Amino acid sequence: MYCLKCGAQLPDDAVFCSRCGASQSSQAKMTQQSGGYANPVQVLAPSTATSLKCPSCGAPIAPKFGEMIITCEYCGSSVTLGSSGWANIQKQTMLPLRIQSTDDISARVRSMMDTGLLHRHLQESSNLEEMNLSVVPYWLVAASARTSLIATDMLAEGATVATTAALFGVMAGMGGGRRGGFGGPLLTGAVLGSMMGGGIGGGGQRRAMQMDDNYNFPIVALKALTSYQPHDYQFSLQDRTLFDISQYPKGIKVLNGDISEDSARYQAKTLVDELQSQKAHAKYHMIQQIQS
């Protein structure tokens, strides 16, 4: 979809524009979707089905226990298990294949094992026991994030503390040169009091700020591979194409997934909130309040 105010391209589920901040109402989304591509999902089989037919080629598909995403080994079409039952996945894409064979993997492994002084000739004394190439499914969740925070303006705080410290040095020098005077300790106490009250940790110049971002967040669709879940990485989607299983060399297996779309959306929300918090703490210091 596109922003009606500035024309920027946005994820389908965006609630505001990350460029101009304009709200994207549900009525505007329905207007853009009036071309008819937002069709209702057609249920192919109930969730308890032990067999069904591929919606594209008619080949038999036998769901195994726990599977949520199944790719037809004949034509590459995929079905997913939702709350209503098994349905066809309407939008399925793939990234360019950068590894064509196990020889490419072996070359990369040898290069990694021969890097560094401690790894010299390590691959010569190693034996390759097994190697498999597989295609891992990911859910791509479109998410909009708006983070509101209150933080201390460090530039203003730094200037205040530096000026106070310089003033303290001048006054202490003047007081220390007087006979029997008590100007030094008195001024020291007064200046430290002002620094503690409004300077260091005193809350000084607080500012309310807002961070708006849109994501196409990848969620690995296989529980056994959740350790490879990216937390701050997004795929380069400009080169993706429609999924075509014939583009993969023989011997490469397309794995089925066991994480549902609803679970992926929930996990994406959690990870996007964490990513927004990390970005906020990297950009601003002394954050006193944050909410996404």
Query: What is the β-pairing status of strands 86-88 and 43-45?
Result: antiparallel
CB-based contact 172:186 (threshold 8 Å): no
Q: Which residue in 290, 288, 147 sits closest to 205, CA to CA?
A: 288
Domain residue ranges in the chain: 40-90, 94-147+208-291, 154-204
Residue 119, pLDDT > 90, answer no
* Ranges 147-156, 180-189, 211-220, most confident: 211-220
What contacts 144, CB < 8 A, 6 or more positions away? 10, 11, 13, 14, 15, 16, 18, 212, 213, 214, 215
Amino acid 207 reads R
CB-based contact 139:183 (threshold 8 Å): no
Round to whole Å and give the CA distance between 199 and 207: 15
CB-based contact 152:286 (threshold 8 Å): yes
How much is the average pLDDT of 75-100? 86
Q: How many CB atoms lie within 10 A of CB 164?
A: 17
Radius of gyration for the alpha carbons in the chain, expressed in angstroms and rounded: 29
Amino acid 18 reads S
Residue 88, pLDDT > 90, answer no
Work out the pLDDT band at 240, boundaries 50, 70, 90.
confident
Output phi, psi for 134, to 5 deg.
Answer: -135, 155
Q: How far is CA 159 from CA 155, 173, 190, 205, 242, in A?
A: 6, 21, 19, 11, 55
Q: Cα 229 to chain center, whole Å?
A: 10
C-alpha angle 86/92/94, rounded to 5°? Answer: 140
The answer to pTM > 0.75 is no
Q: Which pLDDT does position 206 carry in this prediction?
A: 78
Of the listed ranges 79-83, 101-105, 153-157, 253-257, the one predicted with least confidence: 153-157
Residue with tokens 């105010």: 5
